[in-house]
């Protein structure tokens, strides 16, 4: 199966991870459960669990996140047919993608910027985590994706979140935020599935280079917009150091940012070796998509 992975990606992984490339390649072939999280703006975790169980859908908890559940993968259509889904009481979302908002820890009253927000999985999670009480601004460059974001926010009841359809690199430099989520566009090297060639068709060395340039520019902007002492969570669904550690390291070396190492979520057994201590570099496997997330403080 792993022969379906683009050679350029295979080569990059083998060079970057001489000891773990095979593990990553195997992870691209893993079958994962469906995962979802409760939308606390509309439902409780206990309420959603009962509703799913009453519909005959078995539910398993996620150790590090009481709002998240695992569901056997064949049940996704049954969930989409439930009113809990159409009314926005839940959001189908990969476990890896739930990590950054948990790290950002949005609190009531805080001014929060989501720089690359569509389709809104993490924006709606931020709203849910803060009970709708943090002041979230969502930015998305692509018009069609921004419309999708507005639709998802509406459906999830996160109605007080303004959406700015613009290039986040061009946001007004006078804006200031307590916390920023930069879930950056990337090559998607962590979300490749051998069962679905679409997930790796666009992958190229050029895409990695272009993504890395854009990621650095977006992070530079985030550093400008966050208050001193404020928090930036940087994340991508790539496992390549070019798009992760090497984007962040210049800011760490200059002392502009430092890593806030978090003990939670406990992802032991699911991580790859990482050049930035305290960052989460998640290996694709039977539970997680490949992913990178790090919590940074502006000095």
Catalytic residues, by residue number, are 237
DSSP state of 82: S
The CB-of-55 to ligand SAM minimum distance in angstroms stands at: 26
The CB-of-144 to ligand SAM minimum distance in angstroms stands at: 9
Q: Cβ distance 101 to 156 under 8 Å?
A: no
Residue 38 backbone class (left: φ over 0; alpha: ψ -120 to 50; beta: rest): beta
The CB-of-146 to ligand SAM minimum distance in angstroms stands at: 8
Closer CB to ligand SAM, residue 57 or residue 218? 218
Q: Residue 162 and residue 160: Cα distance in Å, rounded?
A: 6
The CB-of-3 to ligand SAM minimum distance in angstroms stands at: 27
Q: What angle do CA 241, 95, 233 make, to 5 degrees?
A: 50
Of residues 61 through 80, those in contact with ligand SAM by CB under 6 A are none
| By CB under 6 A, residue 290 contacts ligand SAM | no
Q: Cβ distance 20 to 269 under 8 Å?
A: no
Of residues 156 through 185, those in contact with ligand SAM by CB under 6 A are 167-169, 183, 185
Letters for 105-144 (x = contact with ligand SAM by CB under 6 A, - = none) are -----------xxxxxxx----------------xxxx--
Closer CB to ligand SAM, residue 51 or residue 121? 121
Instruction: Tell how far CA 221 is from the center of its chain.
Output: 19
CA 199 vs CA 171, 203, 252: distances in Å: 31, 8, 32
What are the residues binding ligand SAM (CB under 6 A)? Answer: 97, 116-122, 139-142, 145, 167-169, 183, 185
């Amino acid at each position: 199966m792993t022969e379906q992975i683009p050679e350029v990606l295979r080569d990059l992984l083998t060079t970057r991870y001489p000891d773990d490339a095979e593990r990553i390649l195997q992870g691209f072939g893993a079958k994962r459960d469906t995962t979802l999280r409760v939308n606390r703006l509309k439902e409780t975790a206990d309420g959603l669990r009962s509703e799913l169980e009453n519909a005959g859908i078995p539910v398993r908890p996620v150790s590090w996140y009481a709002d998240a559940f695992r569901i056997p993968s064949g049940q996704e259509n049954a969930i989409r047919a439930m009113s809990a889904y159409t009314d926005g009481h839940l959001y189908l979302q990969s476990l890896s993608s739930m990590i950054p908002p948990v790290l950002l820890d949005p609190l009531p009253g805080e001014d929060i910027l989501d720089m690359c927000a569509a389709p809104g999985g993490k924006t709606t999670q931020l709203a849910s985590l803060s009970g709708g009480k943090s002041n979230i601004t969502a930015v998305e460059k692509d018009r069609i994706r921004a419309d999708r974001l507005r639709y998802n926010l509406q459906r999830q009841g996160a109605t007080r979140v303004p959406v700015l359809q613009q290039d986040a690199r061009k946001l007004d430099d006078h804006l200031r935020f307590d916390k920023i989520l930069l879930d950056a566009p990337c090559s998607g090297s962590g979300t490749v599935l051998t069962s679905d060639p679409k997930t790796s068709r666009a992958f190229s060395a050029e895409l990695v280079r272009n993504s890395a340039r854009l990621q650095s520019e977006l992070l530079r902007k985030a550093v400008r917009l966050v208050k001193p002492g404020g928090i930036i969570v940087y994340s991508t669904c790539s496992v390549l150091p070019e798009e992760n550690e090497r984007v962040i390291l210049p800011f760490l070396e200059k002392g502009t940012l430092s890593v806030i190492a978090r003990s939670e979520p406990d992802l032991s057994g699911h991580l790859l070796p990482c050049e930035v201590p305290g960052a989460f570099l998640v290996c694709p496997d039977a539970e997680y998509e490949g992913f990178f997330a790090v919590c940074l403080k502006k000095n």
